[in-house]
Amino acid sequence: MSDSFDTLALAAQLVRVPSVTPDDRGCQAQLAARLERIGFKTEALNCGAVSNLYAKRGRAAPHLTFVGHTDVVPPGDADAWLYPPFSATVADGMLYGRGAADMKGSIAAMVTACERLFARGGAGFDGTLSMLITSDEEGPAVAGTRHALAELTERGETFQYCLVGEPTSEKTLADTIKVGRRGSLSATLTVRGQQGHVAYPQLADNPIHRAGPLVAHLAQYRWHDGDELFPDTALQISNIHAGVGADNVIPAELKLNFNIRYSPAQRAESLIHDIETLCRAHTDNCVIEWQEPSHPYHSQNGHFAELVGDAVYAELGTRARRSSSGGTSDGRFVASTGAEVVELGPLNATIHQVNECVSVRDLDRLSNIYQRVIEQLAAQHPLA
Ligand SMILES: [Zn+2]
């Protein structure tokens, strides 16, 4: 399948652009130009410093949307890399560079899959194909996919099937696809006391002593049992701070940060209620500031997940495991429109690390899998 349209070349071209969040630096313009050549209509749905590209071809059902991001996390210490992080060096069958796996490789594979279908007399596709690419996935994720979807749904756009190119594979290409993601809820807890001299504790109120049992309780609490797809809901404390630096002062307050990863069986509101109740049971003098939660999603329908699994099997002869592990993704925003969302991309072993890389062979195979997904969808939706 993939030979005439070089996924590696496009991936390398994108990796050479240092598009650290939210600065797209022209990556999306490159993609738009390629897609317009094969009949996509493209538009920019930018918001502030964030670039969003929506490209669409066709009107009829079914509608398949590819979702991705051109932004990358910073490379960190460039000297720690084997090759400069934006050089897109190919060595030992791997393409090295920041964003190679997360997720410029997948975006390149999506584009070349479409090119083979439409540019060289492929079977084509009578339904609707679209691509929604943001430069804000690794950042606050507010002005990106969420913003673009709000604008698109406002004008009546609907989404049916969605394939997110996040790097989901663990040991071998497409051994894992995601059909859901856990929610994420973060907060800062401040326990207040009364500052004083350590020699006169009766005149003070030590917030560290108050927080001790509360920390133990938070860490041990059984929040929710997982199931086949979603792991146990877990709370993790990430930062804790109190003290003025002197060893003879009882501090006035203690601050700690925690995060909860939770399954779609739970709602953020009830978690917030439970945690506030638990904290109040330990001390009246505390305040919790909650960040806006990232909601979980679970594409329950399963039809599209099955189709993607079949495309993987047709290309590789292996079966993909369904999972919901890992961090949040923009899939949650598309899922909230009612679309069935599946995530499939290259190996995630090096993402956000120095020496991020992706297998050149996997890029071609991924492009073939994406093409098969489109073709199988076409086969299942014969036009009346
Ligand atoms: Zn990503």
Determine which of 21-25, 44-48, 296-300, 360-364 has the lowest per-residue pLDDT on average.
Answer: 296-300
* CATH code at position 158: 3.40.630.10
Mean pLDDT value across residues 55-83: 96
Shared-domain flag, residues 131 and 26: yes
pLDDT band at 259 (very low <50, low <70, confident <90, very high): very high
Share of the chain above pLDDT 90, in %: 85
**pLDDT at 384 (0 to 100):** 36
Give every CB contact of residue 195 below 8 A, 6+ residues apart in sequence.
204, 244, 249, 250, 251, 252
Shared-domain flag, residues 303 and 354: yes
Q: Is residue 1 in a domain? A: no
- Strand 63-69 versus strand 128-134 pairing type: parallel
Mean pLDDT computed over every residue of the chain: 94
> Residue 81 C-alpha to ligand 1 middle, in angstroms?
20
Mean pLDDT value across residues 299-305: 86
Share of the chain above pLDDT 70, in %: 97
pLDDT at 362 over 50: yes
181 contacts 324 by C-beta, under 8 angstroms: yes
Question: Which domain range does residue 268 map to?
Answer: 183-290
Mean pLDDT value across residues 260-278: 93
**Which token pair is 49?**
């410093």
**pLDDT at 228 (0 to 100):** 84
The residue out of 251, 267, 290 marking a domain boundary is 290
d(CA 300, CA 135): 28
Shared-domain flag, residues 357 and 309: yes
The residue out of 262, 290, 318 marking a domain boundary is 290
Shared-domain flag, residues 142 and 259: no
**pLDDT at 312 (0 to 100):** 98
d(CA 236, CA 367): 38
Shared-domain flag, residues 174 and 219: no
**pLDDT at 332 (0 to 100):** 95
> Residue 191 C-alpha to ligand 1 middle, in angstroms?
36
Q: Helices (DSSP H) in the chain: which residue ranges? A: 7-15, 27-37, 105-119, 145-154, 207-220, 268-282, 303-316, 331-335, 360-380
Q: Is residue 149 in a domain? A: yes
Signed CA dihedral, 166, 171, 173, 178: sign only: negative
What confidence tens digit (pLDDT) does each residue in 111-147 have? Answer: 999 999 988 666 678 899 999 999 999 988 889 999 9
* CATH code at position 190: 3.30.70.360
Shared-domain flag, residues 153 and 26: yes
Shared-domain flag, residues 232 and 307: no
**pLDDT at 383 (0 to 100):** 47
**pLDDT at 356 (0 to 100):** 98
**Total Cβ atoms within 10 A of residue 302:** 13
> Residue 162 C-alpha to ligand 1 middle, in angstroms?
15
pLDDT at 331 over 70: yes
pLDDT at 303 over 70: yes
Shared-domain flag, residues 22 and 137: yes
> Residue 228 C-alpha to ligand 1 middle, in angstroms?
24
- Strand 196-197 versus strand 249-250 pairing type: antiparallel
Shared-domain flag, residues 110 and 255: no
- Which is more confident, 383 or 338? 338
Q: Is residue 155 in a domain? A: yes
**pLDDT at 32 (0 to 100):** 98
Shared-domain flag, residues 39 and 148: yes
Catalytic positions, written as ranges: 71, 137
d(CA 344, CA 177): 5
> Residue 60 C-alpha to ligand 1 middle, in angstroms?
29
Q: Is residue 57 in a domain? A: yes
pLDDT at 2 over 70: no
**pLDDT at 380 (0 to 100):** 84
13 contacts 127 by C-beta, under 8 angstroms: no
> Residue 166 C-alpha to ligand 1 middle, in angstroms?
5
Q: How many domains does the chain have?
A: 2
Shared-domain flag, residues 188 and 177: no
**pLDDT at 95 (0 to 100):** 98
120 contacts 41 by C-beta, under 8 angstroms: no
Q: Is residue 194 in a domain? A: yes
d(CA 218, CA 221): 5
Shared-domain flag, residues 38 and 171: yes
